[in-house]
Structure 1
Amino acid sequence: MIQHLEELRKRIIITLVVFTLFLVLTFIYVQDIYNVIVKDLPFKLALLGPSDIILVYLMIATVVAIAATIPVAAHQTWLFIHPALTKERKVTSAYIPALFILFILGISFGYFILFPIVLNFLMSLSNGMFTTFFTTEKYFRFMLHMTLPFGFLFEMPVVILFLTSLGIINPYRLQKIRKYSYFILIVISILITPPDFLSDILVTIPLLLLYESSVSLSKFVYNRHQREKESKKYESV
């Protein structure tokens, strides 16, 4: 037991060290990243205090560092659990790049699709009645609320596939808890979006589709494992 805790501690420390290194490296170039993000904005961002820009730079650097650290964190997790695996070792190693790719896809979906739609909708509500005034800190905080959660939520198919390949869950169990999963995903979508109906709908629909695609993938992996078991039974006979 103590040996396992020491191993877990080692993997966590390595992951945190790598994250810190990426954070420092990103912070060196964060101004260039900031300029790329804001270059096409149709309005100027304002600062209310000298510390605002540091907070914004830190938010940007943290997101980039998290994305860069995901493959390392996944690999460290695999190193921790792989002694207990047998035939699943080769399969689980394939999930490491998939985690990174899906995280990037999730952020891209939030940034390039969801964020502009929600921002334009909220802007249209003023209908020329108000003067638009965005602070840098609030703009980026709003943008991160609309993008970063999707980076993690898009990991759902890989996580479910991984757990299915290990035999921890199966698609039929996922189907049984579908209504509870839907409820949780709807609550999550309400919590991570601005308080308007359009944002909730735009976030909820992709999350439900992600869940259903995860169930379908889980069923594919589960059925394949069942066929392999059946073929082994016939071979033994």
Structure 2
Amino acid sequence: MAKRLANPNPEKEMSFLDHLEELRWHIIRSTIAVVIVGTLAFIAKDFIFDVLLFGPKSADFPTYKLLCRAARFIGMNSFCFEELPFRIQSRTMSGQFSAHIWTSVTAGIIIAFPYIIYEFWKFISPGLMPKERKHSKGFIIIASFLFFLGVLFGYYVITPLSINFLGSYRVSEEVFNDFDLSSYISLVRASVLASGLIFELPIVIYFLTKLGLVTPEILRKYRKFALVIVLIISAVITPPDIASQVIVAVPVTILYEISIYISRAVLRNNRKKEKEKANEQQ
């Protein structure tokens, strides 16, 4: 492993190779964090699989109970069942071990996300103004909060809706659903990670506005197109029924509207700083 370069003069501009060296160490530390947390998740196999992963296929899952009560309140019997009509199987010799490994890696990425964001911020912070660096803690907290909020939304909303629809869907009574373990885990993983990343939209808009690539006017002008994109994303990460897509589209649309206000606030602060700088030069 190469020795890390020391930078005795922080104000001195770093070369491209120096930046690559710094980035390499940030990636290494993030990877180590994922490996450590992933190892703990590997050890906690029973909780990860029996409670978390296979929880959404149980009739006792909180989402199903809530939806069942809501359905009965309006005189329907949807989401009220004792058992979903499918089984999970592993059809390859290494199937269960591979699922264990990759699920542990995914858990490591999710749980270590705040530290990964911290390393990302440490890499980009030297290029920011001193006042902007002071908000690093706030950035890490907000980005982590949005990500975990998206993960919870994916786990408690998208995942059970997808499992209930796809697990109950039949083209004929002659066909019984026997899902492969990797297929089931992929659905849960995609639902959770996709939601976590989608909920980072305000953070993405913040940086795009900082770079001058996005303005509130552009976001408002293309709101209709954004709504179409939101519906497409909702259709991709949810089962193909209108109710599920609407449930997913609503929070994403709200995040888009919040992003407009964030972009406006960033632009306002930039103009204020430019005005103060102009006054100082006079």
TM-score (norm 1): 0.80
Which piece of structure 1 moves more, 129-138 or 7-16? 129-138
Query: What is the letter of the counterpart of residue 116 of structure 2?
Result: A
CA contact 2:35–2:105 (8 Å) conserved in 1: no
More helix by share: 1
CA distance in 1, matches of 2:165, 2:113: 33
- Provide the secondary structure at the position in 1 that maps to 2:92: coil
Whether 1:61 aligns to 2:104 is: yes
2:140 corresponding residue in structure 1:
96
- 1:88 is displaced (CA, Å) by 0.8
Query: What is the letter of the counterpart of residue 66 of structure 1?
Result: I
- Alignment counterpart, residue 79 of structure 1, candidates 100, 118, 122: 122
1:117 corresponding residue in structure 2:
161
Work out the number of aligned pairs and report it: 236
Whether 1:16 aligns to 2:31 is: yes
Deviations 1:197-236 (A, max 9, x none): 4344443443333222211222234335545655776788
- Map 1:98-177 → 2, pairs under 5 A: 98-126=142-170, 129=173, 131-164=176-209, 169-177=214-222
Deviations 1:128-148 (A, max 9, x none): 935443443322222222222
Deviations 1:141-167 (A, max 9, x none): 222222220011111112323444565
What percent identity do the matched residue pairs reach?
31
- Provide the secondary structure at the position in 2 that maps to 1:218: helix
- Provide the secondary structure at the position in 2 that maps to 1:133: strand
- 1:70 is displaced (CA, Å) by 1.7
TM-score (norm 2): 0.69
Whether 1:188 aligns to 2:200 is: no
CA contact 1:23–1:62 (8 Å) conserved in 2: yes
Deviations 1:45-102 (A, max 9, x none): 3332332222332342122111122222211222112122112111233111222221
CA distance in 2, matches of 1:93, 1:166: 21
CA distance in 1, matches of 2:169, 2:20: 54
Which piece of structure 1 moves more, 2-11 or 134-143? 134-143
Query: What is the letter of the counterpart of residue 136 of structure 2?
Result: T
CA contact 2:146–2:196 (8 Å) conserved in 1: yes
CA contact 2:89–2:180 (8 Å) conserved in 1: yes
- Alignment counterpart, residue 48 of structure 2, candidates 33, 49, 54: 33
Which structure would you say has the larger Rg?
A: 2
C-alpha change, 1:61 and 1:83, in structure 2 (3 Å) is same
CA contact 2:220–2:260 (8 Å) conserved in 1: yes
- Unaligned 5+ residue runs, structure 1? none
CA distance in 2, matches of 1:203, 1:55: 30
- Provide the secondary structure at the position in 2 that maps to 1:50: coil
CA contact 2:150–2:195 (8 Å) conserved in 1: yes
Query: What is the letter of the counterpart of residue 98 of structure 1?
Result: I
Which piece of structure 1 moves more, 160-169 or 135-144? 160-169
Whether 1:213 aligns to 2:258 is: yes
